[in-house]
Structures are given as C-alpha cells and as structure tokens.
Amino acid sequence: MNDKDIELLEESFKKFYFDNFNLIHVPENPSQREFGFQKFNSKMSRHLSLKSDKELHLLLMEKIPSDVYCSNACYSFPNLPMNEKDWKNAELIFDIDAKDLDVSNRDKHSCVKCTECNEVALFQQSCPTCKSKKLSKITLSCNDCIIAAKDQVKKLEHILVNDFAINQNSIQVFFSGNEGFHIYVNNSEFQIVGAKERAEIVDYIMFRGVIPETFGLPKKFNNKNTSLPDFGELGWRGRLATKLFSPKSKRPQISKKIISSGYVAFQKQLDLIKNEIGVRIDPNVTVDIHRIFRLPGSLNSKSGLAKIHVNDIDNFDPYLDACFIDGDDVEVIANCPIQFSLKNKKFGPYNHETISVPKYAAVYMICKGIANHT
C-alpha cells in the first residue's frame, strides 16, 4: 500500500466517520473497557481508555484509524498492562467466518498475490511471473460464502436459545465487515465464566469431543443397555437422531446397524459428521477473555465495509447494506483477475488496467491489495 493509497483511504474513512457518528458508539460501561486502534501501515495501539462517544469520535477524527477495537471484557483498570487490569467479566462472543466453512466454490472467488513481486493471479500454487510459492490468498465478495455463514449463525442462535436458555433478545448479530459474522450474548449469566468454562461451551456448540456413551452406546454394550437417540429428544441427541435416522421409518434398521458395527465404528461416524451438524465457530475467539473486537459501526480495513448490526439475517446483503463509502469516481490501476459485485454493480476482471470506478469499489480493491490509486 503506497502513500497515495493511504491518502485516499484516510480521506474516505474520515468522511465515513464524520457522516456516520450515529452508527458508532462506545459500549456499555465504557470506562471499564480496553480500547485499541491501528492506522494504515502502522502497529496496533492498545490499553486505551475512552469514557464517552465524544472521546471516541474525537479519536476517529484525529487519528483516522484503519481499524478500531474494544474489549468484550470489563476491567477495574482497563488502561494498565494485561496482568494488572483486574478482569471482572466479559460478554460471550462467537466468530463465524466464511474462510472456515469449506464452501465448495470458494476458490472461484479467490486469487493470490505474490509477496515477492506483488503479481496478482487466479488461485494457484506458485506465482506465474516469478515462480515464488510465497503467496497470500485474497477472497472477494461471494454470496455463496455469505449464505453459508448465515446458515451457521442460525444454527448457533438455535442452540443458544434452546440448549443454553439464552433469551433471543440478548443475542446480537453483527456483520464483521469482511466475510463473516460476530454474535454477541449480552447480559447473561455466562459473562462471569472464565476461559476454561468457555472452552466447554465451545466444545458443546461445535460438537467436539463427543463419545458414543453420550448417545447411548457404552463400550461394553448389549441390546438391553443401549439407548440410541430418538426423534423429539432435546439437544444434541435429538439433532443426531434427525441426522442419522431420517426418515423416521428407518430408525429401527439403522439402529441395528450401528449396534452391530460396534463402539469404534460409531465413534468414527460421530467424528465424520462433526462438521456437518456442529456450528463452525472460531474456538479461539470465544475462549479468549482478553481479546479486543472490532467496534460495531467501524470500518474494516480488509474491505472498507462496515461492521454493522444485522436485524434480518435472511435479507441482509453485506455488499449493499454495509457499503457506506460514497460513489464519487476515482481512478485506480487495478489488477483483479476475477469479477466481484458491490452495491449491485459488477466490477472486473482487470489486468493492470487504469480505470475509473466508484470510490467504494476503489477502496474495496485497495484494501484487498488488488489496486493502487493513481
């Protein structure tokens, strides 16, 4: 990213924040939160204290950060080093990202950039220009990836409400600003639990570490001491019954097969279907009680899109609803081998072309590393 790129991005980000102060606020108990920010091509600044929207807005105007963060944790002394902060509690937050979902056609919306010569090309194992294998992957807008992420969000919400008895009104969903979602659980009994307990919550939600005993097949079993899951049961037993035995009429036949195949075979079957029925969250995000998260309402420097609250997950279109940069024409040199869409307009492919595009598309391509401002 060169100086002209940074100048355009800072100008665009500053205008966004000036025009959209209503979107970005400090969270509850701001004086107990740790804040952080990063500028383009600079290191992270952490352990900051902000007490009001006024202080936050002043930071946005003066520093023009590429990214703004805030802790989900509350501390007695948020601006002190980590071991002196005195952790009090933290919202439960889950991260769902399309890159973790193994979407079948993802490579069709991805390209690679050589870290040696900066050449951009369709997805492959080595640079077509210098043959280097030091490549970074770039993924552009993809509705299939967003749909897959939405499905995971809905699965997660169902489990939080039905298995953990969390009030639906306490769950907030945010588009991350790139290609995923952050799910916040506010004002719940889980705010006071530590990393160890959160790891157990993660294992449950992801269907990790499950064993046949949980589903009614002990190591030493016979026809009298087995109790395989059935339709209508709550929690994972009911979900597994739906996965294993649908349609319902096949349950007796499949149950006999599971029992006759034995414990080890059933364990392998559970391991194979883990990713199909478990929720594909990033476990490290939820377990880390000292993490700082992108602040809702702020821009994501990986895309120029905003992290915003999602009211209607089914009808939400991130490439329209989270795209706030204006449409003034900007000239860039673009090297983008695949087509992408923003605000219902298609762009690319471009091969080292000097083009004039709406500013939101220019910002998006520069953030992705596939264009430079002229």
Q: Which residues are catalytic?
A: 95, 97, 282
SS3 per-residue string spanning the chain: CCHHHHHHHHHHHHHHHHHCHHHCCCCCCHHHCCEEEECCCCCEEEEECCCCHHHHHHHHHHHCCCEEEEECEEECCCCCCHHHCCEEEECEEEEEEHHHCCCCCHHHHEEEEECCCCCEEECCCCCCCCCCCCEEEEECCCHHHHHHHHHHHHHHHHHHHHCCCCCHHHEEEEECCCCEEEEEECCCHHHHCCHHHHHHHHHHHHCCCCCHHHHCCCCCCCCCCCCCCCCCCCHHHHHHHHHHHCCHHHHHHHHHHHHHHCHHHHHHHHHHHHHHHCCCCCHHHHHCCCCEEECCCCECCCCCCECEECCCCCCCCHHHHCCCCCCCEEEEEEEECCCEEECCEEECCEEEEEEEEEHHHHHHHHHHCCEEEC
Among the listed residues 165, 206, 204, 205, the one whose alpha carbon sits nearest the alpha carbon of residue 188:
165
Looking at residue 247, its amino acid is P
C-alpha torsion 11→45→294→10, nearest 10 = 10
d(CA 35, CA 51): 10
Owner of token pair 């992290």: 307
Q: 3-state class of 85 per DSSP?
A: coil
